[in-house]
Structure 1
Amino acid sequence: MRPGVFGLIGLALLAPAALAQEEKAWDDAKPAWRWTLEERMAKRFDPAEVEARAKKAASLPRMELIAGEPVPEPGTGSDSPLNGTLNPELYTPGELYRTLIELTYPLPGDGPSVWREPIEEQAASLGFGSDLWWRLRRASDEYLALRLEDFRGAMAQKAAHGPVPGDELCRARFEGLQAAYREFGRAKFLQLLYFSIATVSHASIAERDNLLRLEGGCQ
């Protein structure tokens, strides 16, 4: 058989793999903070990627609680397991903003936050100053207030003073994230979320439609 024929056969065998690579709706080479929401959703809910993550998770030791939420067992939820150390790009900014607030602004009875100091150290390397926390509080003031009100309402267990409606809290969280973008700069704040917060995140919202709704502020 002539060399040219071997070459054609080789190209034919390589074509499906090359085509599959071209059809990916995301770019793995991009830093996690630069991914678009569409790219995050495409990879996060891709069946082959979900299966690969499940196999990887099954080979890893179980992690402790993160922000009060247990790590999901392999195979639970349509996008689980999700591990921010391995795949920080799969989290949405809204999820990471919520985790940042939960880790650094504890609710009554939780005790002081042990996360501020390590986050401060990483934030300093990204150009954030010592005013990080009061600026974040200023940007997140409404969300923090509603979150506290929601907590107190849930503890009261009274119909007249129940938790804050979910959509109201969701919208406040969304507006808090937008305010943080304005306060610090979008690119800079995203770097903080994906370098400092994604790597300690292990739990996630499993349903795509619900996740997209939350990411849009429950509008």
Structure 2
Amino acid sequence: MIRVLVADDQHLVRAGLRMLCESAPDLEVVGEAADGHEAVAQAERVLPDVILMDLRMPGLDGTAATERITAARPAARVLALTTFGDDDHLYPALAAGACGFLVKSAPPGELLEAVRRAAAGGTPFSQEVLGRLVDRAVRARDESARVPDPGPLTPRERDVLALVAAGLSNQEIAARLHLGVTTVKTHIAALLSKTGCPNRIRLAVYAVRAGLAGD
């Protein structure tokens, strides 16, 4: 069972997200929060697997709450939700430690699948957001933006890096490459160290900018 915390300042939105999550047999809503301070406190109290985090909330906003939660519990999976699909909200949320980014207009099925992927270690994005992220990385590469040399990568590390750039979870990468999940985690840890990237989102962007993503 995937334990979910819903953080949004609008009661009707929280109620809708609760109903949607609880319609799935493998999801359980273990708490709600109406602002960032409450989200941080609830995350510490109920220890959710995935936190659905609205980015624009009174007091402590969702980005700051995400940063505090992931600093205290690095394994916490925060899925950022917003009505704003612009990069001004995307990049700060990712830098704060969010594992994915969805606009609230996403179809219900997409949101449920995103929660599952986040819980499994994936990096779910709304398609429009992922498209902008990749386009921006490609433009930076085409403009000859300097990308630090990671040093020699093994063929398997290159395979794993390309699949990280495609947004696959550790389990999906393991299945695709016929590896154990622990082995995939080891490769990703090595890639993070070699590239200097702080998380797998930055690693995916790095792969695109460096021309190491798949076709």
* Normalised TM-score (structure 2): 0.31
Structure with the bigger RCO (C-alpha within 8 Å, sep 6+) is 1
Counting strand residues as a fraction of each chain, which structure ranks higher?
2
* Normalised TM-score (structure 1): 0.31
Counting helix residues as a fraction of each chain, which structure ranks higher?
1
